[in-house]
Each structure stands twice: as C-alpha cells, then as structure tokens.
Amino acid sequence: MKIHETVAGLRAGVSNAGRVVLVPTMGNLHDGHISLMRQAQDYGDTVLVSIFVNRLQFRPGEDFEKYPRTFAADCERLVAAGVDHLFFPAESEMYPTPQRYFVMPPAELIDILEGEFRPDHFRGVATVVMKLFSITQPQVAVFGKKDYQQMLVLSNMARDLALPVDIVAAETVRAADGLALSSRNGFLSAQERTEAPRLHRLLEGVRQAIQAGERDYARLERAAITELAAHGWVPDYVSVRQRSNLQPPSTGDSELVVLGAARLGTTRLIDNLEI
C-alpha cells in the first residue's frame, strides 16, 4: 500500500491507476470500514482510502480532540484488506489556509435529525468530501448507510453538482448482538457496551410494527424514546422518515427508514433501519 501525505504526491500516485474507488474515513478503522473497502474492490481497479479527522464537522465541545487516532493499527488493517493507496494528509495539507469556501446542502435536509443536534456538521462533511473528491478525482466513492443522513447529503451533492463520481451506499455492519459498528463504540464502558444494542432492538421493533401494518408512527417513536430513557439513555430522536428525503412520511408512503440517536453515558450512538 502506498501512503501519500501530500496532494501532489497523491495525484501523481493515482494518475495511471485506472478506475479509482475512494473510501473516505476518519480512521480508527473497524470491521464496518473494512467491509466498505472490500466492497470498493468490486467497483474499480484501485481502492484509495483517506484518513482525515475533519475539524470542520465537529462543533466546539464535541469529540474532535479525543477522536481516536490509531494510524499504525489502521495501516495494518488496510494492508490486510488489500487497499492500494492511502491518503493521509495533515491538517495543514488539507486546510493550508482557513477554509472560507463551503458546500452548503439544503436546509430541509441538514437542519433535521442529526443536523438539529449538530448544527454545521453536514456543511463540514460536504465541504471536506467535496475537497477530497477534488483532490483524489475518484470515479466511485463508497459511504456506509450507518450514517444515513450523511450518505443522502453526499449522494444529493454529487447529483446536484453533476460531480463525475458514482456514490455507492453500503450496508451497515453489526456485531453479533446487533450493535452497529462505529469508532465511537470504543468509548463505551463494559456495562454500556452490554446496554448499547438496545437502540438497534428498539429500531427493529419499530420496523416490525410498521411491516405488520402499524401506521401511528408518532406512537412508535414515543414508545422507543420512553424505553431508551427508562434504561438510562438520553435520547435525541427516534423518527420514521421517507428514505428519499428524510421528511416525515405521509399516508401511503412505503419507502421508509427509522432513525435513532441517543447518548449512553458520554457516548452518542446513532443507528437506522430501512423498512
């Protein structure tokens, strides 16, 4: 695996690499990321991974400083997964001057759900991903459905700006007990780790109820939130939405997704299930 720390080095390194598939990450790689990389191999000739913890998408007081940086272990995993190139820029390489140009996704998509609790988050995500696309010029980019709203923001960005990149949405990878794999799971204490799969179980309950014909989404959402709170969580939302635009469903809408976010101790977990 070739490691590139500069934009110039990366561009030279992949200039004759055929169809490049980019998997952007912030590192601290787990099996969910590795599954994205294995899927990436099916979409092109060269798999390029980026590792960059993007300050722009964190608000003051969030976990930017303590976000785990595990470069040596990440490299071992990437080599074992057969990744061809790694782009690992320092902050001074990505943002040599303060970033003054931003990608602003539409408010109706980014002021809801995650955006309600993390203002400016998706502006930071869209901006860094646009910049990564500009630097690496991939033909394909792979994002996980675990961050469902992010995946939608980025695929809409590629469509609306006619970017020459195909976006692939990859399925969420889960532990045997259902917990969606996430870098933030590492912050959970042993006791919290035992409790954590409840979020997925409750979303699964909502999905099954809807599949069985229940249409009172608000009641299902309230019941799941109450259950989380009763077990020590601080829920931000559990919400049934349309898959295509994350707006509340109307009667008759069938392509749905249920999304949830809640804090367990100091760790904020998110998850979702398509219905």
Q: Which residues are catalytic?
A: 33
Give the Å distances, CA to CA, from 243 to 57, 71, 240: 23, 35, 9
CB nearer ligand PAF, residue 167 or residue 264 = 167
Q: Does 32 bind ligand PAF (CB under 6 A)?
A: no
Report d(CA 106, CA 157) in Å as an integer: 10
CB nearer ligand PAF, residue 145 or residue 195 = 145
Q: Which of 36, 28, 31 is nearest to 167 (CA)?
A: 36
Q: Does 129 bind ligand PAF (CB under 6 A)?
A: yes
- Taking the complex as a whole, the smallest distance from the CB of residue 26 to ligand PAF amounts, in Å, to 4
CB nearer ligand PAF, residue 117 or residue 253 = 117
* DSSP character string of 213-240: T---HHHHHHHHHHHHHHTT-EEEEEEE
Q: Residue from 125, 141, 152, 206 that binds ligand PAF (CB under 6 A)?
A: 125
- Taking the complex as a whole, the smallest distance from the CB of residue 216 to ligand PAF amounts, in Å, to 33
Task: Take residue 68 and report the two structure tokens written for it.
Answer: 């785990």
The DSSP code for 255 is -
Q: Does 270 bind ligand PAF (CB under 6 A)?
A: no
- Which contacts qualify for 187-191: CB closer than 8 Å, 24 or more apart? 187/63, 187/266, 187/267, 188/264, 188/265, 188/267, 189/265
Q: Residue from 10, 20, 25, 267 that binds ligand PAF (CB under 6 A)?
A: 25
- Taking the complex as a whole, the smallest distance from the CB of residue 182 to ligand PAF amounts, in Å, to 10
Of 22-30, 79-87, 185-193, 252-260, the segment contacting ligand PAF by CB under 6 A is: 22-30
Report d(CA 242, CA 239) in Å as an integer: 10
Q: How far is CA 198 from the centre of its chain?
A: 20
- Residue 105 zone, left/alpha/beta (φ > 0; ψ -120 to 50; rest): beta
- Taking the complex as a whole, the smallest distance from the CB of residue 63 to ligand PAF amounts, in Å, to 13
Residues 129 and 94 sit within 8 Å (Cβ to Cβ): no
Of 18-26, 76-84, 171-179, 216-224, the segment contacting ligand PAF by CB under 6 A is: 18-26
* DSSP character string of 125-176: HHHHHHHHHHHH--SEEEEETTSHHHHHHHHHHHHHTT-S-EEEEEPPPB-T
- Taking the complex as a whole, the smallest distance from the CB of residue 109 to ligand PAF amounts, in Å, to 15
Q: Does 259 bind ligand PAF (CB under 6 A)?
A: no
Range 138-177, binding ligand PAF (CB under 6 A)? 147, 150
Adjacency order of strands within the sheet including 256-264:
234-242, 256-264, 267-274
Q: Residue from 26, 142, 196, 224 that binds ligand PAF (CB under 6 A)?
A: 26
Of 60-68, 91-99, 124-132, 189-197, the segment contacting ligand PAF by CB under 6 A is: 124-132
Of 21-29, 78-86, 168-176, 189-197, the segment contacting ligand PAF by CB under 6 A is: 21-29
Residues that bind ligand PAF in the complex, under the rule CB under 6 A = 24-26, 54, 57, 125, 128-129, 147, 150
